[in-house]
Structure 1
Amino acid sequence: MSLTYPPGTARRRRLGLTAGTAALLAVALSACATTAPTKSSGGSATIEVVAAENFWGSLAAQLGGSHVKVTSIINNPDADPHDYEPTAADGREIASAKLALINGVGYDAWATKLADANPSSSRTTLTVGDLVGAKDGDNPHRWYNPGNVRQVIDQITADYKKIDPADASFFDTQHDTVINTNLKTYFDTISEIKTNYSGTPVGASESIFAMLSPALGLNLLTPAAFLTDISEGSDPSAKDKASIDNQIKNKQIKVYVYNSQNATPDVQQQVNEAKAAGIPVSTITETLTPAGASFQDWQVAQFDALKQALGQATGK
């Protein structure tokens, strides 16, 4: 099911928790504040990991193997992480975690608030935005940046080794398996697209594709302001919409890529115009689709669909 938003409706609510939710969480967290997670040592205990979103949770689970238990709070393809209303159970999960994985960059401010509400010297919090040097206002979709994905993989492994130093060699082995085996097709497909389609002009519906396109060697022509406006739930300017209409009408772009979980009326109109003009349309999603898919299976399936669209458009 696609998430649709009427024109002018703010999609990204980067506000604090509602008063009722905050009060509920405060009660739940106060009950957890004196309970420290069990220390993992020499494989005697499992590392409890909580990820705000399942794309990071999938990687954390693969990197930790049998030595971790990973809970992903956002694990439904129809849920919007930006607008998620956390529950008391979410607060308890983060409060008792040995490792909390948060995307940051304003994407999941609710998760940061939950972690801050219950500080613990025995919990490691990995905020991806901080790790990669991104700040609020930057593109938050860091899992669509292959370089950032590699950074996160390295840091999760380092955090596991810090939490459970007795099993450091196990985590090193898991790290190498994830990079060289589990994600081999992911990295290989990125290289293949870049080799075969470098410089191909494309259009996109929002900023979710803005970091992936250069990694794939594609030339993203959509105005940056339009990409941000759609991502932020703002009304794009008439000038930007006219520019995209012209790109489609004159076939200046070869493929149009859109986030089906944010199909606003403006985006849906562009999708329809692209199809009418004979421009292949490729779909990506914000969270793991289907739910339960691994990070790499989800990404590679999207890459394969994009390859097919690019091949159709260029004849390669």
Structure 2
Amino acid sequence: MPALLLGLTTTLVLTSCGSGGGDTNGKLDVVASTDMWASVAEAVAGDRAEVEAIIGDNEADPHSYESTPRDAARIDRADLVVYNGGGYDSFVAQILSGDTEAPPSVEAFSATRERDQHGHDHDTAENHAESGHHEHGHEHSGNEHVWYEPSSVQQVAERISEHLGQLRPQHSAEFDRAAADLGARLDEVEQRIDGIEQRHGGTEVLTTAPIADLLLDRAGLDDVTPRSFVRSVESGNDPAAATVAEMQDLVDSQRPAVLVHNPQTASSLTERIRTRAENNGIPVVEMPETLPEGQNYTQWISGRVSALERALDESPNQ
């Protein structure tokens, strides 16, 4: 083989084998189950990756999403997959389990459960004290909506940074700084949640779905929603008549200061409860599952905390 051709062939082989995946412009390919987790991945990866979400429709319910062959292909070609886990976006786990050469992945639910059981992987108590990072120790009790707890999202961002750093070691410090910057912004949100707990700890609230339970618990609020209603909503069944009557009585009592409502799992029943709450002067705070257009995760969670804070401050039922 001529020397020039041999050199060219060798160069092509090395370029192909050393790319570590990613597209032709050298960027990593990151696929997330929802736009919520895509936004977190984008905050860490910056311009070093192309990040895409499988579910970005704010009308969709990830619990019941049915994947397509195109989704499987997107996950298969990814350099990194980021998903929620905990049964929330189970289609991702199903695709990964059926792939004998599945790409590396970050499962948010598992990462945060490990944090609950063992503490942060990388930060000691001394580091937390020096950095001002908050360690609250709230356990999830199986709630899969972990993006409603900013400290959990910080943990996931660290895991994403680790994986990206392994794929692109020359940029690992850059990924770590981006994750730390995101953590600092989320610490500010945590401090505002502390303020809600200080002013409104123990205040009763009602929910139409257990979407924001981690945030409500973190803020020290007392969710008085009947457990039978929560179980029915989670299973997709209609609550018993006695349970509906109990919810209506709670609303009519005007005890709850706020009604937390998930518009993406709304039904005729939950919409009636929402209207009843509004008629009783109970402020309604929407807590959805995907991002509105034009907002990143930090902006979104900050806005949801602000909405909750404002509703509690202005509620007549204090």
Name the TM-score class by shorter chain.
0.7 to 0.9
For 1:168, the aligned partner's letter is S
For residues 144 and 155 of structure 2, the distance between their equivalents in structure 1, rounded to whole angstroms, comes to: 15
Is the CA contact 2:193–2:219 (under 8 Å) kept in the aligned structure 1? yes
For the residue of structure 1 that corresponds to 2:315, the secondary structure is helix
Q: Which residue of 2 aligns with 1:165?
A: 169
Partner of residue 215 from structure 2, selected from 212, 217, 238: 212
| Aligned position for 1:88 | 69
Matched-pair contact (CA < 8 Å) for 2:87–2:144: yes
Structure 1 pair 86/118, CA: closer, same or farther in 2 (3 Å)? same
Task: List per-residue Cα deviations over 1:231-288 (Å, max 9, x = no partner).
Answer: 3312223333222222211122111111111211221121111111111111111111
The letter of the residue matching 1:309 is A
Q: CA–CA distance in 1 between the matches of 2:18 and 2:232?
A: 41
SS of the aligned residue for 1:150 comes to: helix
The runs of at least 4 aligned residues of structure 1 exceeding 4 Å deviation read none
TM-score by length of 1: 0.79
Counting only pairs closer than 5 Å after superposition, residues 1-316 of structure 1 correspond to structure 2 as 38-39=19-20, 45-120=26-101, 123-133=103-113, 138-181=142-185, 183-288=186-291, 290-313=292-315
Query: What residue identity is the alignment partner of 1:62?
Result: A
Query: Once the two structures are aligned, what percentage of the paired residues are identical?
Result: 28
Segment of structure 1 superposing worse, 231-240 or 57-66: 231-240
C-alpha contact (below 8 Å) 1:76/1:291 kept by paired residues: no
Cα distance in 2, alignment partners of residues 240 and 272 from structure 1 = 18
The 8 Å contact of residues 154 and 182 in structure 2, kept in 1 or not, is answered as: no
Which of 1 and 2 has greater Rg?
A: 2
CA 1:293 to 1:271, structure 2 compared with 1: closer, same or farther past 3 Å? same
Question: In structure 2, what is the equivalent of residue 28 of structure 1?
Answer: none
Which structure has more relative contact order (CA 8 Å, sep 6+)? It is 1
From the superposition, tell whether residues 71 and 36 of structure 1 become closer, same or farther in structure 2 (CA, over 3 Å): farther
Larger displacement relative to structure 2 (110-119 or 199-208): 110-119
SS in 1 for 2:174: helix
Unaligned 5+ residue runs, structure 2? Answer: 1-15, 115-140
How far apart are 1:225 and its partner, in Å?
A: 3.1
> Relative to structure 1, is the Cα distance of residues 40 and 93 closer, same or farther in structure 2, using a 3 angstrom cutoff?
closer
**Using the alignment, how far apart are the partners of 1:223 and 1:163 within structure 2?**
47
Deviations 1:89-123 (A, max 9, x none): 211211111111121111112111222232326x2
Structure 2: distance between partners of 1:170 and 1:208: 33
Q: 1:186: how far off?
A: 2.7
Secondary structure of the corresponding residue to residue 85 of structure 1: coil
Question: CA 1:302–1:291 in structure 2 vs 1: closer, same or farther (change >3 Å)?
Answer: same
Change (3 A) 1:165 1:315: same
Aligned to 1:17: none
- What is the RMSD of the two structures over their aligned residues, measured on CA atoms? 2.5
Question: Which has the larger helix fraction?
Answer: 2
- Structure 1 CA distance for aligned equivalents of residues 156 and 228 of structure 2: 28
For residue 211 of structure 1, give the secondary structure of its aligned residue in structure 2: helix
Which whole-Å CA distance do the structure 2 matches of 1:262 and 1:104 have between them? 19
CA distance in 1, matches of 2:99, 2:92: 11
**AA at the equivalent of 2:110:** D
Q: 1:250 to 1:315 in 2, by over 3 A?
A: closer
Opposite residue 270 of structure 1, the aligned amino acid is: I
In the alignment, structure 1 segments of 5+ residues that lack a partner are 1-34
Deviations 1:188-227 (A, max 9, x none): 3322222222111111111102222111121111123322
Q: Distance in 2 between matches of 1:36 and 1:273?
A: 62
Cα offset, 1:47, TM superposition: 1.9
Q: Distance in 1 between matches of 2:246 and 2:289?
A: 25
Do the aligned residues in 2 keep the contact of 1:39 with 1:45 (CA within 8 Å)?
no
Task: Report if aligned partners of 1:201, 1:254 keep a CA contact under 8 Å in 2.
Answer: yes
